[in-house]
């Protein structure tokens, strides 16, 4: 005799889905083995779970409404708890019921239209392009919307049809026996891949995917002050999604080519100049070619090796804030390695005038230095 699944939940035939869920939730709270350890409660919980699973499955409920019992066909087998096909399915149902899920009902088909993925492209730029900004045309090879079917994936005049394997639910169920009873598992339908629909006549251009690969050129505006390794985001210029879904984003990763003269440290630029010993001693004026044009640099008399000369606001613009960084000139002093007779004579005369030709002049200089250091330690 068929089981009265409505009666198990205290309902009558014609109850709504909300009534079934409400009744199951109330009974499951009282009968779940974690709450009520009584043996009869465990058996009753299995009966309630089985009734709930049956009445929330459209196909099984249809059999019940026609006076049959869906578990009496196909050799369902029994559960060691006396509940038949409920098993862990009942535990999943009660969790869904408590936390607002769909209970034992199918999750439903997923959409054929899905968002596309992001794309990443490297862009090599010169130093002046990253400092002052530029507009560069880039070529990308990504998935774009199929212009023949406009993303539908179907041939002209045709439409998707309901999948006959899952009857449009997007998933199929399988029952496995275990020592705890029968476990009902759901998985995406292998025929429609979970969409609940199939395309009998796919588009000849995209094969039903709704998108095709294409090469396109996009102008990219590079902001002034961008640094090596930074990424620029172009919203909606990535891959178009399956079924003509919205495109992802395109990221442009900036790589700055090495410069022959300048190196970069954030918004500051650095370069090196080498001065003859005489120019460093007497002072001079240098003509330096910067990114902004030619600049004259005044080198003060007595400039030492390792000195820094700073040109304000000749660096890169600040991305966050206003103004520009600086250009820092590092000075090297070149000592001559070869002198002719006249040059050597004049240099010796110069050393004699300064008292630097005596053998003890270096020791005196060192002694003076060491004495100053000693005095500093002694608190003088």
Core vs surface per residue 294-319: b (16+ CB within 10 A) or e: eeebebeeebeeebebebeebbbbee
Kindly state whether residues 33 and 53 are assigned to the same domain: yes
Kindly state whether residues 24 and 64 are assigned to the same domain: yes
| Average pLDDT score over residue span 188-214 | 93
Kindly state whether residues 289 and 361 are assigned to the same domain: yes
The verdict on residue 380 lying in a domain is no
How confident is the model at residue 39, as a pLDDT?
78
The verdict on residue 103 lying in a domain is no
- Least confident range of 53-62, 132-141, 287-296, 323-332: 53-62
Kindly state whether residues 269 and 309 are assigned to the same domain: yes
- ∠ at Cα 12 (9, 17), nearest 5°? 70
The verdict on residue 141 lying in a domain is yes
Kindly state whether residues 220 and 319 are assigned to the same domain: no
Tokens, residue 52: 């709930």
The verdict on residue 294 lying in a domain is yes
User: Is pLDDT at 216 greater than 70 in this prediction?
Assistant: yes
Structure confidence by residue, pLDDT tens digits, 160-197: 999 999 999 999 887 776 666 667 778 899 999 999 99
Residues 6+ positions from 149 with CB-CB distance below 8 Å: 155, 156, 203, 205, 206, 210
The verdict on residue 379 lying in a domain is no
The verdict on residue 277 lying in a domain is yes
What does residue 124 show for φ and ψ, rounded to 5 degrees? -90, 130
Core vs surface per residue 4-38: b (16+ CB within 10 A) or e: ebbebbebeeebeeebbbebbbebbeebbeeeeee
The verdict on residue 29 lying in a domain is yes
Kindly state whether residues 126 and 173 are assigned to the same domain: no
R_g of the chain, CA atoms, integer Å: 41
Kindly state whether residues 189 and 138 are assigned to the same domain: no
How confident is the model at residue 36, as a pLDDT?
76
Structure confidence by residue, pLDDT tens digits, 122-166: 999 999 999 999 999 999 999 999 999 999 999 999 999 999 999
pLDDT class of 379 with cuts at 50, 70, 90: low
Q: Tell me which residue range forms the domain holding 311.
A: 263-374
Instruction: Measure the CA–CA gap between 352 and 281, rounded to whole angstroms.
Output: 17
How many Cα neighbours within 13 Å face the side chain of 293?
0
As to burial, measured by CB atoms within 10 angstroms (0-12 exposed, 13-18 middle, 19+ buried), residue 168 is middle
Residues 6+ positions from 271 with CB-CB distance below 8 Å: 261, 262, 263, 288, 327, 328, 329, 330
Tell me the binding residues for Zn(2+). Answer: 146, 149, 163, 166, 189, 192, 203, 206
Kindly state whether residues 13 and 85 are assigned to the same domain: yes
Kindly state whether residues 59 and 131 are assigned to the same domain: no
Kindly state whether residues 178 and 191 are assigned to the same domain: yes
Tokens, residue 199: 């395309």
Kindly state whether residues 80 and 194 are assigned to the same domain: no
The verdict on residue 214 lying in a domain is yes
User: Is pLDDT at 62 greater than 90 in this prediction?
Assistant: no
**Which CATH number does the domain housing residue 284 bear?**
2.60.260.20
Tell me the binding residues. Answer: 146, 149, 163, 166, 189, 192, 203, 206
Number of domains in the chain: 4
Structure confidence by residue, pLDDT tens digits, 222-254: 999 999 999 999 999 999 999 889 999 999 999
pTM for this one? Answer: 0.61
């Amino acid at each position: 005799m068929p089981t009265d699944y409505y009666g198990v939940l205290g309902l009558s035939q014609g109850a709504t889905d909300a009534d079934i869920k409400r009744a199951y939730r109330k009974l499951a709270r009282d009968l779940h083995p974690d709450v009520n350890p009584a043996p009869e409660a465990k058996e009753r919980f299995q009966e309630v779970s089985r009734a709930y699973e049956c009445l929330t499955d459209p196909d099984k409920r249809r059999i019940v409404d026609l006076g049959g019992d869906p578990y009496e066909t196909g050799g369902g087998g029994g559960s060691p708890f006396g509940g038949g096909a409920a098993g862990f399915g009942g535990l999943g149902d009660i969790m869904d019921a408590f936390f607002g899920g769909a209970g034992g009902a199918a999750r439903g088909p997923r959409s054929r239209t899905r968002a596309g993925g992001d794309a990443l492209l490297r862009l090599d730029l010169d130093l002046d392009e990253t400092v002052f900004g530029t507009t560069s045309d880039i070529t990308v090879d990504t998935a774009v919307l199929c212009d023949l079917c406009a993303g539908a994936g179907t041939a002209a005049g045709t439409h998707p049809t309901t999948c006959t394997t899952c009857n449009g639910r997007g998933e199929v169920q399988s029952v496995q026996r275990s020592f705890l009873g029968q476990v009902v598992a759901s998985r995406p339908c292998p025929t429609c891949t979970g969409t609940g629909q199939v395309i009998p006549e796919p588009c000849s251009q995209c094969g039903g995917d709704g998108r095709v690969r294409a090469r396109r050129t996009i102008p990219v505006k590079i902001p002034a002050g961008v640094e090596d390794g930074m990424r620029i985001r172009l919203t909606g210029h990535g891959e178009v999604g399956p079924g003509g879904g919205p495109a992802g984003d395109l990221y442009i990763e900036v790589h700055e080519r090495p410069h022959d003269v300048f190196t970069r440290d954030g918004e500051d630029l650095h370069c090196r100049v080498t001065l003859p010993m005489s120019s460093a001693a007497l002072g001079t004026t240098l003509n330096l070619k910067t990114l902004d044009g030619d600049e004259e640099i005044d080198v003060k008399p007595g400039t030492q090796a390792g000195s820094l000369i700073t040109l304000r606001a000749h660096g890169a613009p600040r991305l966050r804030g206003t103004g520009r960084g600086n250009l820092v000139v590092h000075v090297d002093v070149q000592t001559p390695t070869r002198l002719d007779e006249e040059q050597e004579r004049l240099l010796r005369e110069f050393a004699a005038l300064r008292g630097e030709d005596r053998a003890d002049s270096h020791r005196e200089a060192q002694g003076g230095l060491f004495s100053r250091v000693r005095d500093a330690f002694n608190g003088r």
